Amino acid sequence: MSKFAVLGYGVVGSGVVELFYTNRDSITSKAGQSMDIKYILDIRDFPNSPYEDKFVKSIETILSDDEVTAVAECMGGVHPAYEFVKACLEKGKSVSTSNKQLVAEKGAELLKVAKEHHCNFFFEASVGGAIPIIRPLHKCLAANEITEVAGILNGTTNFILTKMINEHMEFETALAMAQELGYAEKDPTADVEGDDACRKICIISSLVYGKHVYPNSVYTKGITDISLDDVKYAQKWGGAIKLIAYVKKLDNGKIIPLVCPMLVSNENLIAHVDDVFNAVMVCGNGIDKTLFYGRGAGKLPTASAVLGDIINEVQHSETVLSQYWEDTNSTDFIADYSEFTAQMYFRIKGSNTLVPEGAETICTDDDDYTVFITKPMSIADSERLCASIAENNGMVVSTIPVLDIK
């Protein structure tokens, strides 16, 4: 009999408990041994819960119980999740977390603590919810040099953009609808400004390239500037505007992680990923490209990923050394955003603007705007182009990079 504890009985934590007891027979069969939840940690009372006898209020109860070999951390936020997780790992209890903020801020340190104490720090649920991405990246695709990863890693913004694209709904209206449906928080900043997607691309970048990438070293731009005009011109071009979390390895060995809206061609499946769904495309020198798609959030989908890690821990309790990265205390391996190279979408006020050589025009005879897509250029060069357009009395309303994976 293997026993684990659940930290936090919010949306994800209660999902872990519900999914475990719903599927307990098949989970036991897959784990190769009987399993149960011994404790649920929450400061609140749940007097009518069928699991009433499992609730505890102090982490010490869990830490001091040697029978508990694994812990599912579903509290969210950095504190006290960090202190609790670290203490569990120091006791040799493996931890599975859905907490992307914790992994993005403290991942390298917690992986080190886990390694030192011969246990595991798992975080499949921290990126892409139900989508298996962490384990496939470091296990199944281990024979590849990963060249690029691009994904839709925030369901809230994808829901809003889908409404803007398919129903030509204004940003504010779509956001209000997302809030009403429970897809967006009352304060939607972390989602719409790209911070949530940033944490996830930090985790992927760290895992793929072996060095901790902190959120503050990642260029991050959200979707608040995206207008219906841009959405419509993107459709005219044959694609969709999506909030893309992205990382690429450059020829000089540095990586560029970033989060920003991008134009995605309809030839790329990512353009067809709608509503709250997430998708991650991984490019490597063996696989060419592969894509993982599913629900990026939600009670049971996230619980599925947390529990998958717990089952894996019960099956194989040896330390997973491969899932590890270093804290280099440096950002030397991260290239500046200005070095990022892509075709660029330009929307310019007025129809009398000169279109640069080699650009693909989406619209030149429109009364209001000249819209075109340049040949690939660096962000630095695109900023110089903006300046030169301004010198010629043009007004650049928006510039958006084009995702170069088809």
Q: Does 321 bind a second copy (CB under 8 A)?
A: yes
Token pair recorded at residue 152:
């839709």
Which sign does the torsion angle of CA 335, 377, 249, 401 carry? Answer: positive
The minimum distance between CB 38 and a second copy, in angstroms, equals: 18
Q: Does 37 bind a second copy (CB under 8 A)?
A: no
Q: Does 13 bind a second copy (CB under 8 A)?
A: no
- d(CA 73, CA 42) in angstroms, rounded, equals 11
Query: In terms of CB distance, is 137 or 348 closer to a second copy?
Result: 137
Enumerate the β-bridge partners of residue 263. Answer: 241, 402
Q: Does 130 bind a second copy (CB under 8 A)?
A: yes
Q: Does 11 bind a second copy (CB under 8 A)?
A: no
Q: Which of 138, 221, 232, 349 binds a second copy (CB under 8 A)?
A: 138
Site string for a second copy, 258-277 (x = CB under 8 A): -----------x--xx----
Q: Does 147 bind a second copy (CB under 8 A)?
A: no
Query: In terms of CB distance, is 115 or 221 closer to a second copy?
Result: 115
Task: Please provide residue 157's backbone torsions phi and psi, each rounded to the nearest 5 degrees.
Answer: -70, -30
The answer to whether residue 248 is catalytic is no
Q: Which of 30, 221, 254, 349 binds a second copy (CB under 8 A)?
A: 30
- Of 244, 243, 232, 267, the closest CA to residue 362 belongs to 232
Residue 378, classified by CB atoms within 10 Å of its CB into exposed (0-12), middle (13-18) or buried (19+), is: middle
- Per CB under 8 A, which of residues 278..317 are in contact with a second copy? 284-295, 298, 300-301, 303-305, 307-308, 310-312, 315-316
The minimum distance between CB 128 and a second copy, in angstroms, equals: 9
Q: Does 330 bind a second copy (CB under 8 A)?
A: no
Site string for a second copy, 186-225 (x = CB under 8 A): ------------------------x---------------
Catalytic residue among 93, 106, 200, 242: 200
Q: Does 328 bind a second copy (CB under 8 A)?
A: no
Enumerate the β-bridge partners of residue 39. Answer: 5
- d(CA 326, CA 113) in angstroms, rounded, equals 12
Q: Does 78 bind a second copy (CB under 8 A)?
A: no
Number of neighbouring beta carbons within 10 Å of residue 77:
11
Stretch that binds a second copy, among 1-9, 140-148, 177-185, 247-255 (CB under 8 A): 140-148
Q: Judge whether 172 and 227 are in contact, CB under 8 Å.
A: no
Q: Sheet containing 369-373: which strands, arranged edge to edge?
A: 360-363, 369-373, 344-349, 395-401
Token pair recorded at residue 298:
């939600």
- Of 139, 138, 171, 141, the closest CA to residue 156 belongs to 171
- d(CA 5, CA 39) in angstroms, rounded, equals 5
- d(CA 176, CA 300) in angstroms, rounded, equals 24
How many positions of this chain bind a second copy (CB under 8 A)? 56
Stretch that binds a second copy, among 41-49, 57-65, 318-326, 396-404 (CB under 8 A): 318-326
The minimum distance between CB 138 and a second copy, in angstroms, equals: 7
In SS3 terms, 309-343 reads as HHHHHHHCCCCCCCCCCECCCCCCCECCHHHCEEC
Task: Please provide residue 15's backbone torsions phi and psi, each rounded to the nearest 5 degrees.
Answer: -65, -40
Residues near a second copy (CB under 8 A): 19-20, 22-23, 26-27, 29-32, 124, 130-132, 135-136, 138-145, 210, 269, 272-273, 284-295, 298, 300-301, 303-305, 307-308, 310-312, 315-316, 318, 321-322
Residues marked as catalytic: 200
